[in-house]
Amino acid sequence: MHEDVTGEGSPGDDGFDIELLEEELRQAASILDPVPAQLCQLAVEAFALHDLDARIAELTFDSVEDAIPVRGATDVPRMLTFRAGEVTVDVEVTAQGLMGQVLPPQQARIEVLGGPQTATPVDADDMGRFASDAPPSGPFALRLRTGGEVVVTEWLRA
Amino acid sequence: MRVGTIPSAAYDDLPYTRGGAVDRADVGALVQSAVDGDAAAWKALVEGLSPLVWSVVRAHRLSDADAHEVYQTVWFRFAQHLGRIREPEKAGSWLASTARHECLKVLKSLRRLTVTNDPQLLDRVSEDRTPEQSVLDSEEAAAESERIRWMWQEFEELGERCRQLLRVLMASPPPSYQEVSAALGIAVGSIGPLRQRCLRRLRARLDARGAQ
């Protein structure tokens, strides 16, 4: 009882063929385009980033998504805003580096995370302003310690 | 939304409900164990779901560098959100949809950086991938490897929609339709028919090539 339900192609043993073909594709992918081993290893190591005690500051503004592009402007800084409750972190990423401010203005110890193993401290003044002359390459997050609390921004690709 | 109304030939959605229900059954439990600090459970999640994340990234044809960064971002964020994910058993869909979102962002920023809409830009599939020749050393294996490369070439030349769908479907273990839907932003109900059409097209291309 083979009805040609999709209204195209021929009925019959087509079904078997299709499953087989997909399985062959799956094998081809595992040979020709597998997950690079070093990436898989990084993902395994990312377990270290799991921190139930930290509050996550969610991305609430990203100029890539939310801003209207300026015609002809090429090297525009990436503007990001993260928020966790009443704490807001504004960040600007350019080719020269990264700068930002914690609001409401307050002292904070800040680290730029570049992966499970990399954390670079940056100075923040008592207005909460901070700057680093090393632009993040690849995924990054900021870890802030302020007022006995740890806040981590959502991981993002710079 | 016509969710769950797949016009079902018996063979149509079977492997997916199977992949979804059996292979993925313990995803929720693994997430819970990982939340409790079990590194082995986390490793099992990475190993079980990495091919899905990678397939979603590949389906969007990012450059190698961008693909690597998106893959990492997705896993770093998953580690960060672990324990806060509302439906742990749907971690696969969470990962697929996060990967899709990050891919679209990359494509958007590329488009923004270059005023031209050069299609070549989105076509920067790496040239340096090679089959693992060392494994395929006997003559028989060489013929097999030739066949696989053929199939891959024909797959790469399919229309964009089909190429994308099939690249996600070929993740291992097979993704559930919910995961495919999250990966590509298409309705669950349209996946079955589209899948059939795409695989038929590929079959036709392979047959035509074989007949030459």
CB atoms within 10 A of CB B33: 17
Residue A6 confidence class, pLDDT cut points 50, 70, 90: very low
Q: Indicate whether A43 pLDDT > 80.
A: yes
pLDDT the model gives residue A42: 96
d(CA B153, CA A32): 11
Question: How many whole angstroms separate alpha carbon A20 and alpha carbon A90?
Answer: 52
In the predicted model, is pLDDT for residue A1 greater than 70? no
Residue A118 is predicted with a pLDDT of 87
Which B residues in the span 53-82 are in contact with A, Cβ-Cβ below 8 Å? Answer: 53-55, 58, 68-73, 75-82
If 0-12 CB within 10 Å is exposed, 13-18 middle and 19+ buried, where does residue B75 land? buried
Across the interface, of B51, B73, B167, the residue whose CB is closest to A139 is B73
DSSP state at residue A111: E
Q: What is the largest CA-CA distance in chain B?
A: 59
Using CA coordinates, name the residue in chain A closest to B126.
A33
Domain A51-157 of CATH type 3.30.70 = no
Structure token pair of residue B204: 């036709």
Closest Cβ–Cβ partner in A14, A138, A154 for B69: A138
Percent of chain A with pLDDT over 90: 60
User: Collapsing DSSP states into helix, strand and coil, what is residue B166?
Assistant: helix
Residue that the structure tokens 């401010």 belong to: A101
Question: Any idea where the domains of chain A sit in the sequence?
Answer: 14-46, 51-157
**pTM as predicted:** 0.83
User: Which of these, B172, B17, B176, lies nearest to A22 by C-alpha position?
Assistant: B172
Q: Which letter does DSSP use for residue B23 in this model? A: I
Burial zone of A153 (CB within 10 Å; 0-12 exposed, 13-18 middle, 19+ buried):
buried
What confidence tens digit (pLDDT) does each residue in A56-96 have?
999 999 998 887 766 666 667 889 999 999 999 999 998 88
Cα B9 to Cα B16: distance, rounded to the nearest angstrom: 13
Q: Using alpha carbons only, give the angle B156, B157, B159 rounded to the nearest 5 degrees.
A: 105
Query: How far away is chain B from the Cα of A81, in angstroms, using its nearest Cα?
Result: 16
pLDDT of residue B51: 97
CA distance B24 to chain A (A): 17
**Lowest mean pLDDT: which of A105-119, B110-124, B155-169?**
B110-124
Distances from the Cα of A15 to the Cα of A7, A113, A154, B143, B201, angstroms: 14, 50, 44, 26, 14
Terminal-to-terminal C-alpha distance of chain B: 44
Cα A59 from chain centroid?
10
State the residue for tokens 């742990």. Answer: B88
Torsions phi, psi for B147 (to 5 deg): -65, -40
Tell me whether residues A139 and B69 touch, CB distance under 8 A: yes
pLDDT, one tens digit per residue, over B191-208 is 999 999 999 999 999 999
Structure tokens at B47: 């190993």
Q: Output b/e per residue, B35-72; b: 16+ Cβ within 10 A.
A: beeeeebbbbbbebbbbbbbbbbbbbbbbeebbbbbbb
In three-state secondary structure terms, A62 is strand
Q: Identify which of B133, B157, B173 has the alpha carbon closest to the alpha carbon of residue B15.
A: B173
Q: How far is CA A118 from CA A7, A45, A65, A115, B118, in A?
A: 56, 12, 27, 5, 36
- Here the tokens at position A55 are 């509050």
Distance of residue B148 Cα from the nearest chain A Cα, in angstroms: 6
Per DSSP, the three-state class of B8 is: coil
Provide the Cα torsion B156, B161, B164, B170; round to 10°: -90
- What span, in angstroms and rounded, lies between the C-alpha atoms of B145 and B135? 10
Which tokens belong to B136?
């395929």
Question: Per the structure block, which two tokens stand in for A106?
Answer: 């307050």
Q: Give me the interface pTM, i.e. the ipTM.
A: 0.87
Flag whether residue B126 sits within 8 Å of chain A, measured between CB atoms: no
Q: Chain-wide mean pLDDT for chain A?
A: 86
